[in-house]
Every structure is written in structure tokens, then in C-alpha cells.
């Protein structure tokens, strides 16, 4: 299957999920990571196009949440925190809580992004606590999962995804999880310019969907699964053509309005 024309490939893993796409409008997330200043952020919002369908969420650095909360008034845009600490409040210098994220205008929060896992040693146990804290404060969690290059080369993708899902979601009430969004971001595809091919994306997404069906049958088909990793204006349409891809989590190509507009209009 690999090496086929990605613009025409419709794969085996999409079978059985044909109607999922009709139920879910695509979600586009601009994850700015540690980039941009207030002036650029405001210009981005000013120049942002309206997506063909679906919704747009901006995940700015925490310093830009408040100004963006003002700037997006009257627009159909939402904000997402890139990070928070799971404790309610207290002596945690440098941290901010889920309720502070909410207060600053965020309705979503990224949890378990590979950069937090790898540069800041965030463990699965922490990710679990953060997920619980997000749900308790009605912040919609965007749980990021994905294997590293080594894990991929050892054929451990499913083992890794399953462990990440298990530890993050374990013990959570099925009903509470109905707002959950999952992003499949293979670590080797993040910031490398090497996006996963359609086969791998379908396979990863189908595995996550099957895992959800097994453990949370009542809500499994309601949970959007996004793809992230070197998404750009050239490959976005092909990813969105997969039934299982309910949206895109975009890093580098979301740092300016023109490439991101091309993605949300594709």
C-alpha cells in the first residue's frame, strides 16, 4: 500500500467508518508552541479566513490568551491552552491551573503533547492527572498520542498508543469523556517535514478508534481523532479526505495566516 498516490488512495482501514465524517465537522488547531508576539497574534486573527467547513481553534502561548480572548469576540474561534498544572491552586511557581486557563479564555487544553512528554518529562501519570483536572473544569481535553521513531521501527506503534490511552483515560467516567478530542501525532512526523503517509495515518486512527470502541463503546464514535505532524497546505486536503481524520493539529504551518488559511480552506 505504501508508495501509492496519496491523492487517490482510499484504504482498507476506512471501511466501516464511512458515515463518521458526516457526523463530524473538521476541527483545525493552530498550535503556535513557543512562537509569536502580541502584534503577530492579532494580525493572524485579523487575516484568518473562514474554514470551508468546521471550526478553528488557536493554541497560543499562555501570555497571548487574554489579548486573544478580546480579539476573537464575535468571531467563531476558540482558544486552547498549550499547558497547565493539574493542582487547583497554591505554591507552584511558574504554573497555571485549568481554571486559570478557562479564565483567560481557553475552552480547550492540549494534554500529552510529545514536546511536553519529551522535553519536560511529563509522565503518563501526570497526563492522567491533567486530563482529570481538565474534565473537572470543563476544559475540553485534546489528548495527544503517538509513537517515536524508535518505537515505530520496532513495530511498537499499537503497544505505545494503547499504553498512552490506557494511562491517560483510566478510571475516567465514560460520560465525562464524551467531550474528549484525540490527536494522533507520530513523534517522528512533528516538525520534520516528514508527514505520515495516508496508510500510517489510517492505521493509527483505526487502532485508536477500535481501542475506544472496546473501552468506551457508548462514546467511541463521537470522539474526533485529529492528525498532526508536518501538516502543510499541500498535504492537508489528502489527510482530510480520510474518513477517520476529523481535523488537523498544525504547528509550523499555523504561524502565519496565509499557509493556515490554505489548510482550513482545503
Binding site for ligand 13P (CB under 6 A): 31, 113, 185, 190-191, 228-231, 249-253
Return the number of the residue (80 or 216) whose C-beta is nearest ligand 13P: 80
Residue 252 Cβ vs ligand 13P, minimum distance, rounded to whole Å: 3
Q: Is 215 one of the catalytic residues?
A: no
Catalytic residue among 147, 157, 185, 202: 185
Q: How far is the CB of 95 from ligand 13P (least distance, A)?
A: 21
Residue nearest to ligand 13P (CB): 251
* Residue 118 designated active-site: no
Strand, helix or coil at 254? helix
Q: By C-beta, is 185 or 244 nearer to ligand 13P?
A: 185
Buried b / exposed e over 133-160, threshold 16 CB at 10 Å, is: bbbebebbbbbbbbbbeebbeeeebeeb
Nearest by Cα to 30 from 69, 63, 60: 60
In angstroms, give the least distance from the CB of 260 to ligand 13P: 11
Q: For ligand 13P, which is the closer residue by CB, 32 or 86?
A: 32
Candidates 113, 122, 147, 244; catalytic one: 113
Q: 214: Cβ–Cβ under 8 A, 6 or more apart, which residues?
A: none
b/e sequence 48-58, b meaning 16+ C-beta within 10 Å: beebeebebbb
Of residues 60, 71, 56, the one with CA closest to residue 36: 60
Give catalytic residue positions.
Answer: 113, 185
Amino acid at each position: 500500500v505504501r508508495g501509492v498516490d496519496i491523492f487517490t488512495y482510499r484504504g482498507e482501514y476506512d471501511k466501516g467508518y464511512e458515515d463518521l465524517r458526516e457526523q463530524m465537522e473538521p476541527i483545525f488547531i493552530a498550535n503556535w508552541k513557543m512562537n509569536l508576539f502580541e502584534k503577530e497574534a492579532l494580525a493572524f486573527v485579523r487575516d484568518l479566513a473562514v474554514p470551508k467547513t468546521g471550526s478553528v481553534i488557536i493554541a497560543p502561548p499562555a501570555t497571548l490568551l487574554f489579548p486573544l480572548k478580546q480579539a476573537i469576540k464575535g468571531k467563531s474561534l476558540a482558544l486552547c491552552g498549550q499547558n497547565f498544572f493539574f493542582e487547583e491552586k497554591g505554591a507552584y511557581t511558574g504554573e497555571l491551573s485549568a481554571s486559570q486557563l478557562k479564565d483567560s479564555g481557553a475552552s480547550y487544553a492540549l494534554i500529552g503533547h510529545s514536546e511536553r512528554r519529551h522535553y519536560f518529562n511529563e509522565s503518563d501519570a501526570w497526563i492522567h492527572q491533567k486530563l482529570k483536572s481538565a474534565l473537572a473544569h470543563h476544559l475540553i481535553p485534546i489528548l495527544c498520542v503517538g509513537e517515536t521513531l524508535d518505537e515505530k521501527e520496532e513495530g511498537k506503534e499499537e503497544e505505545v498508543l494503547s499504553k498512552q490511552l490506557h494511562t491517560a483515560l483510566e478510571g475516567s467516567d465514560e460520560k465525562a469523556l464524551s467531550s474528549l478530542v484525540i490527536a494522533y501525532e507520530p513523534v517522528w512526523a512533528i516538525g520534520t517535514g516528514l508527514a505520515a503517509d495516508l496508510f500510517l495515518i489510517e492505521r493509527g486512527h483505526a487502532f485508536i478508534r477500535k481501542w475506544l470502541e472496546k473501552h468506551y463503546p457508548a462514546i467511541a464514535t463521537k470522539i474526533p481523532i485529529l492528525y498532526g505532524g508536518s501538516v502543510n497546505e499541500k498535504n492537508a486536503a489528502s489527510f482530510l479526505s480520510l474518513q477517520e481524520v476529523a481535523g488537523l493539529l498544525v504547528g509550523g504551518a499555523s504561524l502565519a495566516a496565509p499557509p493556515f488559511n490554505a489548510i482550513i480552506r482545503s
